[in-house]
Chains A and B, each alone.
Chain A
């Protein structure tokens, strides 16, 4: 199952001056996974499409994603 955000744990050195951020994240939006768009994909209504910035729910990428800036 694909997620739109990935997490990693950077190395924490004993002399890092700022309090360490133990978990860092980056975005992996849907366009990285779909390949050549297949025909007849499910669509939003025109109003919904405008507000989501795309006609197809499969390409919708909410930001900030859930759980992003946590910890």
Chain B
């Protein structure tokens, strides 16, 4: 019932977490610095990188988001363990 995830899973997950963390930091920064052109360019650069990593992650380990923000496999694989607190 539960498959053990390979070390590559944790590696890819952390890569995505790192890129998404930069986006969180830049988001809060831009909320108070809306005219920082360099920061906006950096934000868009990382947004693109995050999209690419998500695509790669979801092809291997299933959807990250719901309500149509991610594609589903067959059968419906949103419910598949592990959930974030279980890995």
List residues of B whose CB falls within 8 A of some A CB: 14-15, 17-19, 21-22, 25-26, 29, 32-33, 36, 38-39, 46
Query: How extensive is the interface on chain A, given as a class?
Result: 10 to 19
Among A39, A46, A54, A55, which residue has the most Cβ atoms of chain B within 10 A? A46
Instruction: Say whether, besides A54-B25, A55-B25, A55-B26, A40 and B18 are in contact (CB < 8 Å).
Output: no
Q: Tell me, yes or no, whether A37 is within 8 Å of chain B by CB.
A: yes
A39 to B38, CA, bound (A): 9
Number of A-B contacts (CB under 8 A): 32
Among A37, A50, A54, A56, which residue has the most Cβ atoms of chain B within 10 A? A50
Assess whether A40 is in contact with B25, with CB atoms less than 8 Å apart: no
Assess whether B36 is in contact with A46, with CB atoms less than 8 Å apart: no
Q: Chain B contacts of A49 at CB under 8 A?
A: 18, 21-22, 25
With both chains docked as a complex, state the minimum distance between the C-beta of A50 and any C-beta of chain B, in angstroms: 4
Assess whether A39 is in contact with B21, with CB atoms less than 8 Å apart: no
